[in-house]
Amino acid sequence: MSLVIVGSLALDSISTKAGSVKDALGGSAFYASIAASYFHQASIVGVVGDDYPQAGIDLLKKHKVNLEGLETVSGKTFRWSGKYEEWNQADTLNTELNVFANFNPILPSSYRNPKNLLLGNIHPSLQLQVLEQVESYNCVACDTMNYWITGEHQTLSQVIRKMDVVFMNEEEVCQYTGCDNIFKAGREILDMGVKLIVIKRGEYGSVCICKDYMVFMAAYPIEGVVDPTGAGDCFAGGFMGYLASKPKPNKQDIREAALAGTVAAALNVSDFSVNGIANVDKQVIDAKIKQLRDWTS
Amino acid sequence: MSLVIVGSLALDSISTKAGSVKDALGGSAFYASIAASYFHQASIVGVVGDDYPQAGIDLLKKHKVNLEGLETVSGKTFRWSGKYEEWNQADTLNTELNVFANFNPILPSSYRNPKNLLLGNIHPSLQLQVLEQVESYNCVACDTMNYWITGEHQTLSQVIRKMDVVFMNEEEVCQYTGCDNIFKAGREILDMGVKLIVIKRGEYGSVCICKDYMVFMAAYPIEGVVDPTGAGDCFAGGFMGYLASKPKPNKQDIREAALAGTVAAALNVSDFSVNGIANVDKQVIDAKIKQLRDWTS
């Protein structure tokens, strides 16, 4: 069981400059596991209601995502609706937690010794709860968002102190640390015991900061963004999927993981829901990774 | 005569969050030639008044800048004063053209067959006037600014159509082309016959766009900017200085030129005027280039 991904499965209603969708497949674990699947098999932990579309299950199965940890309970699936006036900022219009309100993630016994564990963007107390059930792992990572940084700062700090890898975007890392410089902010996160902080910079790419080195990665150039929802989840999924495929990741693997996450995120934003990342051949992903590697080294 | 740089020599009065200076040495040709000097000897074309401080001349001489094309005329040197509320945007408080108002750049005969020519950020009609005096060259580049893009669009287009390399920042390339995407905008510039458009992205680095390839470069991480004035000039100077040192630049040389320009710009913004770039050992520059090369490839 080498890559376990915990997070949400949702039905999203989204409006962007490029159009809109209603009740489209989404959620942090959904996006991340599909992005990861191109690099390594993912095992998901999450919950859906009995209204969850079979198409979502079929898509995860098509991507060989292990669904043993996916619970279906009576009630409605988590729903989120949002609108993008700017590409880098969603305005939440409505959130219906539904079955997610009582989500009590229980890891199947086969999940308890993962090689890598990705705690997708959910309430930090749920992230902690999952972590407590794990018996051993090589590498544990978390993603988060501004909502938890302001509302659950202390609990989030408890999570971060246990992490090997933390994903945040520029605003989040500055907001969390109170620093106005991402490199200073990154060092503060490292000082909490984290080995690698991955700072996402939207259209400008990302920077991975470790104690001894940094890895800068450009964003894959995109001329027409359609829907940015899930870009961060796909980045984290692709990144962790690539890392899970390596026995003992070194600096070069971190760079390749950043390439994988970057290309997964770029494909994802080219269409609504997971249409951009779920319906693509591995050869297309590999070609884009090769192209971006060439442009950046 | 392998790198000729045309531009302004100025006395700048600048106020930033980090402090202020009055009548400090500046100007596009001044910054660019000092940055270039670490990679290749520069020959300057410009004008100063009879009040120009000897310290400016001494500094250029220390950097082995050829001053044959530097004219001293009766009157006051060009003065600019500005204030930075944000690091990426100067508010001009005052501009006194002084001797620059009647600047009529005449290239000494020894300058007329340069290998490389950098037309620093000055009125595009002056850039054209210089270009007309050149008999042969390998590579000609120009820098510009929003002021000429809005006020002298047609004349600037005449310049651009004759360029091999164009330096612009993100806002400028979008403003000039009317595109909201830098990659589309870059292609429009290439369609004008330009071989390489270098788009500067401030703290996010730069991207070089050619017909057949791109080169992404991260900015050198800086934790304390003091004065951004001249960053773009130092970038262009370092870039063109490096290119001038290569017999026939290839793709790898473009990447190394971007490294050179990036490190020159980063050093420059660490202090007021040229203090950050003019008083540094070549070994320090080389070490920073090596470090950034490592972080980015």
Contacts of A177 in chain B (CB under 8 A): none
* Range of the structural domain that residue A264 is part of: 3-296
What is the nearest CA distance from A39 to chain B, expressed in angstroms? 21
**Least CB–CB distance from A216: residue in B183, B215, B295:** B295
Residue B147 at interface with chain A, using a CB cutoff of 8 Å: no
CA distances from B297 to A218, A244, A291, B104 (A): 11, 22, 14, 45
Asked whether residue B9 carries a pLDDT value surpassing 80, the answer given is yes
Contacts of B266 in chain A (CB under 8 A): none
Q: Name the residue in chain B with its Cα closest to that of A187.
A: B223
For residue B145, give the amino acid letter: M
pTM of the model: 0.93
Q: CB–CB of A296 and B297 under 8 A?
A: yes
Asked whether residue A40 carries a pLDDT value surpassing 80, the answer given is yes
Average pLDDT over residues A193-215: 97
* Burial (0-12, 13-18, 19+ Cβ within 10 Å), A137: middle
Tokens of B187: 């292609």
* Burial (0-12, 13-18, 19+ Cβ within 10 Å), A71: middle
For residue A157, give the amino acid letter: S
What is the nearest CA distance from B70 to chain A, expressed in angstroms? 39
Q: CB–CB of A216 and B223 under 8 A?
A: no
Q: CB–CB of A215 and B183 under 8 A?
A: no
* Burial (0-12, 13-18, 19+ Cβ within 10 Å), A162: middle
Distance from C-alpha of B297 to C-alpha of B293, rounded to nearest angstrom: 6
Tokens of B79: 């003065």
pLDDT at A272: 97
**Test the B interface: residue of A177, A179, A199, A204 with most B CBs within 10 Å:** A204
Q: What is the mean pLDDT of chain B?
A: 96
Q: CB–CB of A223 and B295 under 8 A?
A: no
CATH number at residue A54: 3.40.1190.20
A89: CB partners within 8 A, 6+ apart: none
Q: CB–CB of A294 and B184 under 8 A?
A: no
* Burial (0-12, 13-18, 19+ Cβ within 10 Å), A251: middle
pLDDT at A248: 84
Residue A147 at interface with chain B, using a CB cutoff of 8 Å: no
A177: CB partners within 8 A, 6+ apart: A184, A185, A188, A189
Residue A213 at interface with chain B, using a CB cutoff of 8 Å: yes
Coil, helix or strand at residue A85: strand
The ipTM is 0.89
Asked whether residue A116 carries a pLDDT value surpassing 90, the answer given is yes
Asked whether residue B135 carries a pLDDT value surpassing 70, the answer given is yes
| Domains identified in chain B, total number | 1
pLDDT in tens, B113-130: 999 999 999 999 999 999
Kindly indicate the confidence band of residue B239, based on its pLDDT and cuts at 50, 70 and 90.
very high
pLDDT in tens, B67-105: 999 999 999 999 999 999 888 788 999 999 999 999 999
Question: How many other C-beta atoms can be found within 10 angstroms of the C-beta atom of residue A154?
Answer: 7
pLDDT in tens, B178-210: 999 999 999 999 999 999 999 999 999 999 999
Asked whether residue B1 carries a pLDDT value surpassing 80, the answer given is no
Asked whether residue A1 carries a pLDDT value surpassing 70, the answer given is no
**Test the A interface: residue of B211, B217, B295 with most A CBs within 10 Å:** B295
Asked whether residue A2 carries a pLDDT value surpassing 90, the answer given is no
pLDDT at A247: 82
Kindly indicate the confidence band of residue B224, based on its pLDDT and cuts at 50, 70 and 90.
confident
Residues A6/A106, Cβ–Cβ less than 8 Å: no
Bin A64: left if φ > 0, else alpha if -120 < ψ < 50, else beta: left
Q: CB–CB of B205 and A201 under 8 A?
A: no
Q: Name the residue in chain B with its Cα closest to that of A225.
A: B181
Kindly indicate the confidence band of residue A295, based on its pLDDT and cuts at 50, 70 and 90.
very high
